[in-house]
Amino acid sequence: MVQQGAASRSQATVGAAVKTRTRRRTPTPRVIHPHAGGLDVGARYVHAAAPPDGDSPCVAVFGTFTADLFRLAAWFKEHGVTSVAMESTGSFWIPVFQILERCGLEVILVNARHVKNVPGRKTDVSDCRWLQYLHSVGLLQGSFRPPAEICAVRSIMRHRANLVADGAEHIQHMQKSLTEMGLQIHHVLSDLSGVSGLAIIDAILAGERDPKVLAQLRDRRTKGQEETVRAARIGDYLAEPVFTLGQAREAYRFCGEQLRDCDAAIERLLAQLTSQMAPALAPPPPAKGTSHPPRKGEIALPTLDLRTELYRLSGTDVTQIPGLGASSACMLLA
């Protein structure tokens, strides 16, 4: 009986300890930003959360039209919000970010991965309320966003990179059409988009079929025996691959025109940036081994020395770093 009584008292003590541990709760973080708001941005709707009024949440839904976004900014100001946190969702966040910032609100752009790593989220809490709460207790860190003039340069340069990739695809299409016609030009020319390759393609599209005439269009520096060059230009000129060859050639020519327009736009935007050096000062001569010939697809501004322009904007010659050319430095600047 004594042993049973001791065992029952021991079980009661353990049960009390378990209950005591169960009752312990994690202390609620202190509110650091009492005027914080949260945004859940979608393609058609934007869910906004302001600081709660007592125990009731303060949430509203707005459209994604420009007028709706201005109403969203006014709604935040009515509820005393001065800083808003939002996730970087695709490209939907860009107009929301710009309009809220234009209306005088501080906007914190948060990486969605960082938000998911914060523990303690409940399933019944919407994204905008959760972002508002995390921002109010100081658990969110905004991503870096450069000034508007740098964003403009970056936008054009990213579009330019897409054009370079599109041009590479059109070159592959031209190569495929030539292969279907039995023209083994890739055995003679290493670069189909060079002067010799484009000249031969233009001649084929113009109706030239004589391999001797086509062989004469190659550059004198092209390696290979004359017999091999002529044999590579004897083909079966079917109507279908000739048509697709012409389509790919026109698309590649259009990409080239678009690239020239992008270069001119980049030149105008760089000219508007603040100088760190006097425009009359030229960068020091490049160190030995740091300069290299321009690669395919690199930025070639029409009337501007890109290396000198970067020296004016950054205050130092970043091309002195081995392996870093003017084009790569311009990408880093953007």
Q: What is the mean pLDDT of residues 32-40?
A: 92
Contact 306, 299 (CB under 8 A): yes
Rg (CA), the chain: 32
Of all helices (H) and strands (E), which one includes residue 208?
A: none
Angle between helix 326-333 and helix 306-314 axes, rounded to 10 deg: 40
Place of tokens 């935040």: 76
Tens-digit pLDDT profile for residues 235-259: 678 889 999 999 999 999 999 999 9
In the 8-state DSSP scheme, what is residue 294? P
CA–CA separation, 150 and 334 (whole Å): 6
pLDDT tens profile 185-233? 777 777 888 888 888 889 889 988 887 777 777 766 665 555 555 666 6
Sheet (strand 106-110) strand order: 56-63, 45-53, 36-41, 83-87, 106-110
Strands 106-110 and 83-87: parallel
Q: Are 172 and 197 in contact (CB under 8 A)?
A: no
| Measured distance CA(180)–CA(236) in Å, rounded | 8
Instruction: Classify strands 36-41 and 83-87 as parallel, antiparallel or unpaired.
Output: parallel
Task: Enumerate long-range contacts of 195-199, CB under 8 Å, 24 or more apart.
Answer: 195/219, 196/222, 198/249
Strand partners, 53: 56
With a cut of 80, say whether residue 260 has pLDDT above it.
yes
Q: How much is the average pLDDT of 322-329?
A: 83
pTM: 0.75
The pLDDT value recorded for residue 262 is 93
Cβ atoms of 111 and 88 within 8 Å: the answer is yes
| pLDDT-based confidence at residue 268 (cuts at 50, 70, 90) | very high
**pLDDT band at residue 1 under the 50/70/90 scheme:** very low
Opening angle at CA 193, ends 189 and 198, nearest 5: 85
**C-alpha–C-alpha distance, residues 92 and 82, integer Å:** 21
Q: How far apart are CA 12 and CA 192, in angstroms?
A: 86
pLDDT average, residue stretch 154-173: 93
